[in-house]
């Protein structure tokens, strides 16, 4: 057995022990907070949990200390984010992970929209908070909730470094030719209208993990990442840098999603306003909440859709076909953008679990070097794995995403660097 010196026995380890090695990752939504506590010495998880329905009578907190794996659950009104975070802190303290512990090195916050300015994870100060606030008009649903989470956490531990990790940051390397819409430049700039892209921490993590799986450096590899969850986006990553992604000003553009339409002729909106007499808010709601798979067939869960298809349901089949058609168009388009593709990686709820989606998405693309091996594709694994046969020119991979680990890693690296 190899023995490693304990971190505290090396000079670097002493600094680490003094600072602590734990990072709390917070993902604050409008009525929820998801969290994970990680130990960055080995990237292991110490505790995971979720507070839901904040502001309602039926709020629920689910907390699992990883060591014993026993989930504790409590229900009852949690009126706001402040109360939610205090409840989380109390649960963590019960497991010996109190937020006042010197072991806690930093808190990493997921922030959805970082605009053009935030190209990297950023230590939060008042100026950073003000800038995130300035971006609310382009992320009205997400940034206010993220800000609430940050303010609450800062009030609890004002002395602790808090880091914002932006969903948009990985995409800021997109060239102007991909980031700009073909509309009047002055109007676009006046309203900060451009393509920002989202799910960036996932695309960053998965593109790197795919290079790892191939045994190559990220700089040497071109990857198409397909993040297919309830929200879905594709990206083209050349040598570790994002050159194109399918979401735009907001997460509405691109692929068919669980409840979002993805791409459409923008004139549909004027038509609905003029002929359908719908308001902007009604159309916003229609396209974000009642479209995509749910709009097409009434279900947004791919398991349910597959079950219905097996029973001969025509609407479910059409919804699936539209979903796959769009996905295939993006694979083709990003192939052309990259010129050379080394791997296509599937990730997130659908991408990691739905073998029929992966099979259908690359069916007929043998001329592009894309082939899926039926047996490999059928294996459900919780680690990155190849599902293409050895002879295939392009690797097809399933790579479980881990946005929390990516946020924790980026947060910890920044805190270490700024010491
Ligand atoms: P995410 O947003 O990444 O959590 O993905 C959630 C979505 O993944 C769900 O809405 C389902 O459509 C899909 N999903 C989760 N588990 C499975 C599964 N075992 N088979 C097919 N789809 C799944």
- Distance (angstroms) between ligand 1 centre and the Cα of 349 equals 4
- Is 207 inside a domain boundary? no
Residue 301 CB less than 6 A away from ligand 1: yes
Return the pLDDT at 18: 66
- Distance (angstroms) between ligand 1 centre and the Cα of 302 equals 6
Q: Are residues 287 and 145 in the same domain?
A: no
Bigger pLDDT: 353 vs 13 = 353
Residue 258 CB less than 6 A away from ligand 1: yes
Only one residue has tokens 């969903």, namely 167
**Distance from chain centroid for Cα 223:** 17
Q: Are residues 248 and 395 in the same domain?
A: yes
Only one residue has tokens 């989470």, namely 149
What residues make up the domain containing 92? 14-166
Is residue 391's pLDDT more than 80?
A: yes
Q: Are residues 139 and 252 in the same domain?
A: no
CA pair distance 396, 377, nearest whole angstrom = 10
Q: Are residues 46 and 125 in the same domain?
A: yes
- Is 198 inside a domain boundary? no
- Is 174 inside a domain boundary? no
Segment 164-173 mean pLDDT = 97
Bigger pLDDT: 140 vs 317 = 317
Phi, psi of 167 (to 5 degrees): -65, -25
Which residue puts its alpha carbon closest to atom 9 of ligand 1?
Answer: 301
Confidence of residue 264 (pLDDT cuts 50, 70, 90): very high
Residue 251 CB less than 6 A away from ligand 1: no
Q: Are residues 302 and 372 in the same domain?
A: yes
- Is 311 inside a domain boundary? yes
Q: Best mutation site among 303, 357, 398 for ligand 1, i.e. most ligand atoms within 8 A of its Cβ?
A: 303
Residue 300 CB less than 6 A away from ligand 1: yes
- Is 379 inside a domain boundary? yes
- Is 171 inside a domain boundary? no
Q: Are residues 255 and 398 in the same domain?
A: yes
Return the pLDDT at 140: 81
CA pair distance 400, 251, nearest whole angstrom = 21
Is residue 239's pLDDT more than 80?
A: yes
Span 187-200, pLDDT tens digits: 999 999 999 999 99
Confidence of residue 11 (pLDDT cuts 50, 70, 90): very low
Q: Are residues 158 and 239 in the same domain?
A: no
Residue 230 CB less than 6 A away from ligand 1: yes
- Distance (angstroms) between ligand 1 centre and the Cα of 247 equals 19
Segment 390-396 mean pLDDT = 97
Q: Which of 105, 158, 103 is nearest to 129 (CA)?
A: 158
Q: Are residues 125 and 233 in the same domain?
A: no
Q: Are residues 147 and 25 in the same domain?
A: yes
So which residues are the catalytic ones?
167
Is residue 6's pLDDT more than 70?
A: no
Determine the longest span between alpha carbons in the chain, in angstroms. 74
- Is 191 inside a domain boundary? no
Span 326-380, pLDDT tens digits: 999 999 999 999 999 999 999 999 999 999 999 999 999 999 999 999 999 999 8
Residue 284 CB less than 6 A away from ligand 1: no
- Distance (angstroms) between ligand 1 centre and the Cα of 258 equals 9
Atom of ligand 1 nearest to the CA of 305: 12
Check: CB of residue 411 under 8 Å from CB of residue 163. yes
Say how many domains are in the chain. 2
CA pair distance 46, 68, nearest whole angstrom = 10
Atom of ligand 1 nearest to the CA of 301: 12
Sequence-ordered alpha helix ranges (H) in 215-313? 267-274, 280-289, 292-297, 302-310
Q: Are residues 120 and 20 in the same domain?
A: yes
- Distance (angstroms) between ligand 1 centre and the Cα of 355 equals 11
CA pair distance 75, 59, nearest whole angstrom = 6
Only one residue has tokens 């219905």, namely 308
Of 103, 134, 166, at which residue does a domain stop?
Answer: 166
- Rg of the chain taking only CA atoms, in angstroms: 22
Is residue 180's pLDDT more than 90?
A: yes
Residue 256 CB less than 6 A away from ligand 1: no
Q: Best mutation site among 50, 260, 350, 378 for ligand 1, i.e. most ligand atoms within 8 A of its Cβ?
A: 350
Span 69-97, pLDDT tens digits: 999 999 999 999 889 999 999 999 999 99
Q: Best mutation site among 302, 361, 382 for ligand 1, i.e. most ligand atoms within 8 A of its Cβ?
A: 302
- The CATH code of the domain that includes 155 is 3.30.420.40
Q: Are residues 153 and 262 in the same domain?
A: no
Q: Are residues 123 and 241 in the same domain?
A: no
- Is 36 inside a domain boundary? yes
Is residue 409's pLDDT more than 90?
A: yes
Is residue 14's pLDDT more than 60?
A: no
Residue 282 CB less than 6 A away from ligand 1: no
Q: What is the mean pLDDT of the chain?
A: 93
- Distance (angstroms) between ligand 1 centre and the Cα of 306 equals 12
Return the pLDDT at 142: 85
Q: Which of 209, 214, 212 is nearest to 227 (CA)?
A: 209
- Distance (angstroms) between ligand 1 centre and the Cα of 215 equals 28
What is the pTM for the complete model shown?
Answer: 0.92
CA pair distance 101, 46, nearest whole angstrom = 14
Segment 43-49 mean pLDDT = 97
Structure tokens at 278: 């719908």
Confidence of residue 19 (pLDDT cuts 50, 70, 90): confident
């Amino acid at each position: 057995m190899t023995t490693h010196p304990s971190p505290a026995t090396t000079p670097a380890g002493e600094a680490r022990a003094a600072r602590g090695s734990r990072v709390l990752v917070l993902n604050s939504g409008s009525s929820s907070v998801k969290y994970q506590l990680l130990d960055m010495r080995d990237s292991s998880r110490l505790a995971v949990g979720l507070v839901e329905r904040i502001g309602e009578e039926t709020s629920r907190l689910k907390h699992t200390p990883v060591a014993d794996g026993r989930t504790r659950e409590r229900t009852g009104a949690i009126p706001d984010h402040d109360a939610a975070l205090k409840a989380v802190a109390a649960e963590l303290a019960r497991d010996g992970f109190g937020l006042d512990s010197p072991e806690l090195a930093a808190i990493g916050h997921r922030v959805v929209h970082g605009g053009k300015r935030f190209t990297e994870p950023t230590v939060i100060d008042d100026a950073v908070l003000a800038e995130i606030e300035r971006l609310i008009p382009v992320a009205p649903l997400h940034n206010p909730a993220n800000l609430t989470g940050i303010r609450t956490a800062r009030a609890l531990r004002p002395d602790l470094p808090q880091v914002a990790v932006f969903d948009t940051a990985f995409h800021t390397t997109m060239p102007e030719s991909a980031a700009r819409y073909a509309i009047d430049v002055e109007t676009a700039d006046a309203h900060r209208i451009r393509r920002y892209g989202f799910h960036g921490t996932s695309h960053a993590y998965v593109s790197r993990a795919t290079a790892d799986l191939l045994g190559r450096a990220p700089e040497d590899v071109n990857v198409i990442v397909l993040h297919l969850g309830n929200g879905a986006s594709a990206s083209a990553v050349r040598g570790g840098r994002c050159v194109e992604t399918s979401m735009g000003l907001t997460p509405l553009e691109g692929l068919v999603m669980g409840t979002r339409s993805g791409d459409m002729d923008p004139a549909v909106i004027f038509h609905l306003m003029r002929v359908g007499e719908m308001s902007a808010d009604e159309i916003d709601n229609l396209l974000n909440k009642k479209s995509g798979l749910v709009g097409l067939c009434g279900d947004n869960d791919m398991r349910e859709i597959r079950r219905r298809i097996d029973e001969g349901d025509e609407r479910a089949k059409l919804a699936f076909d539209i979903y796959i058609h769009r996905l295939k168009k993006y694979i083709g388009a990003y192939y052309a953008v990259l010129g050379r593709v080394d791997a296509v990686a599937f990730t997130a709820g659908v991408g990691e679990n739905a073998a029929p989606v992966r099979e259908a998405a690359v069916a007929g693309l043998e001329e592009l070097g894309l082939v899926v091996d039926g047996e490999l594709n059928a294996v459900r694994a919780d680690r990155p794995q190849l599902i293409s046969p050895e002879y295939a020119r392009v690797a097809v991979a399933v790579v479980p995403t881990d946005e929390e680990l990516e946020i924790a890693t980026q947060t910890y690296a920044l805190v270490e660097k700024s010491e």
